[in-house]
Structure 1
Amino acid sequence: MEAAGAGAEGTAGERGRLINVAYRLLGSLAEAEDAVQEAFARWYALPRSRRDEIVSPGAWLTTVTGRICLDVLGSARVRRERYVGAWLPDPLPDPVERGGRGSDLADRMVLDESVTMAFLVVLETMTPAERVSFVLHDVFRFPFAEIAGVLGRTPAACKQLAASARRRVPDAGAPVAVDARADVVRRVKEAWENKDIAALVDLLDPSAVMTADGGGLAGAVLRPVEGDARIASYMVAIADRAPGLELLERSVNGAPGLVAQRGGVVLTVAAFDVSEGRVARIWVVRNPEKLGPWVTRGRDDRACQASPSRRDLRNTP
């Protein structure tokens, strides 16, 4: 713990950690940044004497960020019910592949199993309180006594929320090596480029599901496509309708994935869940508002990351 009086300087280096917490809570990089910005705004709005009294500025900022995220999660359910098609979390590139430019928000993210698309999609099935309790405890190892301050509940109640959330997470089964996953994704890429339906069917689990997110801003199937044959046919049909697309193997949320671009502009990011040598799930993000971190190196990030303004968070208690 930091000594009293450290408040003025104790926030150095906290922003990256808070962005990591907020992204896992919200699934949106832009909303995560908004939440962290608001937490810092509240910090600097405190009188200097009050800041100097706070023993751990990092803990204070985490509590405030968690409360803001809780409020956002509550309203996000309503917004996502009105969303055009399926809503998917923002896909994240590997900072190393982007040149490791520390000024980019995505470069602050720590990529691990807690940010894979499969894990984030499961988090979406939890209630806001379950998600906050589970992520803060199981992912970031916060004690329930501190989580209680975020949720305004007792530590025992927070422990129950985390346990309830944990039951929603499916058994991981035998882990699939990264090289093995990358090999499957590479073969999917080759079959897709060759428009080989039979090869794609062989690479897909018979009960595979593809979910696409266009947000009403880019063409995408509105409902999940189920079954190996239907998915393979859909993928080939897409290839027929989109000449000139270049497929690239890229890390997506820390796992092997594919990126489709035309003229150096990223149009689609696909994440894969591989089980027993076959693709079980495909998540396709085409909403341009979610592809800002995938801007081709050298382009103006600010122009490509522009998005509609979000509601003011300042009234969150």
Structure 2
Amino acid sequence: MVFYTKIAVSLIAGLLAGILGISGVAGIAFFIFTFFLSTAILLTLKREVIFNLGFYKTYREGIGSSLIAFILTWSIATSLMLGQPTIYVADSSIGPHPVSFPNGTEVPPALKPLNSTFNAIYVIKLSENKTWKVMLGVYSQYNDETALNLPKCDLIYQKAESTVKLTTTIDPEELDQIKSRWSIKFSKEDEGVFIIYEGTRELLEEGKTIDIELKEADSTYLIHILYSANQIRLETEPLKMENNSLNMTRTPFGDTISYVCLDRGFIYAFECPLYTYRSIGFGEEYLVLERPP
């Protein structure tokens, strides 16, 4: 009777621990508490049986089985409550690819499962060891005008001109410290919001658009900046794509977008961070690249 009662109590305790999300040392402490509590209750309800068994045997009775029962139900309940990670896969060959479900069906462009942000990858380098180089981004079918959104940058693709126009925004409330975007520094001071670029310091006027030029070794980029009460909006002039692609890694825009390309009826845009492993995790979502052939 004592043995089976403690097993039953441990099963219930393990179930409660899993449902409540108790883990680690707290879980073991919860088991010890319920084990001794059940013994104390049995002392009250089954006094004569306990006296016949003896106190030592009462505490010893079924402790190993009780612990196993607790851990078993604890782990099962925890797994059921937390759920299982969601797995996505992608082609590991060099180039751009949509992210796919495990059955091979491509994730539709409207769905961005990875961190609610990404649904495409670009494999720059692959290997059997840890020297992978992968960019994450977004993709879509394209028509005369197509918009794509990255975390720090939006773009509009114009099919007729084969151009891309970029926009990015900054919240003025984030300017407690100097913030850099597209090689332009933004600073909020008592007099207002200033921009600093190529040795020039200029005050932004609310509601007014200013145009600045960013000069590179072989290119000049025209940027329109509009300052309003709730945001600072930066926009480029259309950027020409060459051979159905545009590499912006070494341009002023490389901090928000690294690469745009057309491939097999889709347009892709990728962010600048590089990932160097075959599996990439975002909380309970994981992207796994198929092994190279």
Task: Give the shorter-chain TM-score range.
Answer: under 0.3
Counting strand residues as a fraction of each chain, which structure ranks higher? 2
Question: Is the radius of gyration larger for structure 1 or structure 2?
Answer: 2
TM-score (norm 2): 0.24
Counting helix residues as a fraction of each chain, which structure ranks higher? 1
